[in-house]
Homo-oligomer: A and B are copies of this chain.
Amino acid sequence: MQKHILVIPGDGIGPEVTTWGKAVLEKIAANFGHKFTFDEALMGHAGIEATGNPLPDETLAKAKASDAILFGAIGHIKYDNDPSAKVRPEQGLLKIRKELGLYANLRPIMLFDELLDASSLKPEILKGTDILFFRELTGDVYFGEKKRSEDRNTASDLMIYSRYEVERIAIKAYEAAMVRGKKLCSVDKANVLESSRLWREVVQDMAKKYPEVETEHMFIDNAAMQLVKNPKKFDVVLTANLFGDILTDEASQIAGSMGMLASASIGDGTGFFEPIHGSAHDITGQDKANPLASILSVALMLEISFGLKDEAKAITDAIDKTLKAGYRTGDIADVNTDKSKILGTIAMGQKVLE
């Protein structure tokens, strides 16, 4: 198989972790006889520094021309503390999601048995958890009109959904539920929000087309609670952009660390694969970042964009083996970890490659 992959390292620890995602892709190509070619492009703070634009035109053109995109992370502390900045790194990520029509963000919460103790949740609560989130990614309050009054004392964002936007992601979520546990939980705030009431109506209609799937509707506040109380009860979770952002970060504690979670954004064209963690400026350049989320992003790319299941499995097996051998990055180490087996980004990347 021949594929062209664009790597967008982005900001903070992005470059450190995508290095290992790319290395794993090269190794897979060699071992399985594929031909992967690579290109690289800028986005976020890196894009602003070089061109003044968080999503340079060249990056977008390269993205559209590639078969899949491996992304690192976005964001810079400088902008976080300056709420009045006009140009912001995150705009690059939001714009590429919109431009590529990446309306469905899949976030699988998988749990490596070896990491049961790395979580703040009790192992017996976690064991057996396997959740696949479908987060809507190109609508909601993220993309609705933003306004600031002239005196700057009032600010607003429009939370807005249209039927077709909910339908297309609901179809993807139901199709996934059909080949998984046949349970789908749709999360909204229909007791307060009109956009959530539309969301619920559409999902109720869709549920009729998938009678084999057991559909549940849950309010976001309750879902945030149930996810900690009893994560095992969830199979497929379908939700809006903002609620999905919150719930999936929360769910990262189930997997032991944000450093373990990958995500796939798909839609009309090229697929986009990235860790769910952020740019983590506090540990940038210190060889501390966990490269496993980037490597798992590559496994998702192989499976979802290229249909290469065996290759994807080879990657998760390699990670499993590395964890079984006791190796950990700092974020997933616990009191029982052999200190000599706590590795930096580079050493961990190399262990998985081997």
Chain A: residues with CB nearer than 8 A to chain B?
Answer: 75, 79-81, 83-84, 88, 90, 94, 120-122, 125, 141-142, 144, 146-148, 152-164, 189-198, 200-201, 204, 217, 220-222, 224-225, 227-230, 242, 245-250, 252-253, 258, 278
Contact = CB atoms under 8 A, between A and B. Distances in A.
B75 A191 contact: yes
Contacts of A189: 242, 245
Nearest to A253: B228
Contact of A194 (B75, B146, B191, B249): B146
Given A80-B217, A154-B160, 19 more contacts: A84-B201, A90-B191, A120-B229, A141-B193, A142-B192, A146-B193, A146-B194, A148-B198, A153-B163, A155-B161, A156-B159, A156-B161, A157-B193, A220-B245, A220-B246, A221-B248, A221-B250, A224-B247, A227-B250
Contacts of A200: 83
B191 A88 contact: yes
Of listed A81, A146, A147, A157, residue having the most chain B CB within 10 A: A157
Contacts of A161: 154-156
Copies in the complex: 2
A331 B127 CA distance: 21
A155 B198 contact: yes
A262 to B, nearest CB: 16
A247 B338 CA distance: 35
24 contacts: A75-B191, A83-B190, A83-B197, A83-B198, A83-B204, A121-B122, A122-B122, A141-B141, A146-B194, A148-B198, A155-B160, A155-B161, A155-B194, A156-B159, A157-B158, A157-B195, A221-B245, A222-B278, A225-B250, A225-B252, A225-B253, A228-B228, A228-B253, A229-B253
5 pairs of A and B residues whose beta carbons are closest in the complex: A155-B198, A83-B197, A156-B160, A221-B249, A224-B250
A221 B250 CA distance: 7
B163 A154 contact: yes
Nearest to A220: B246
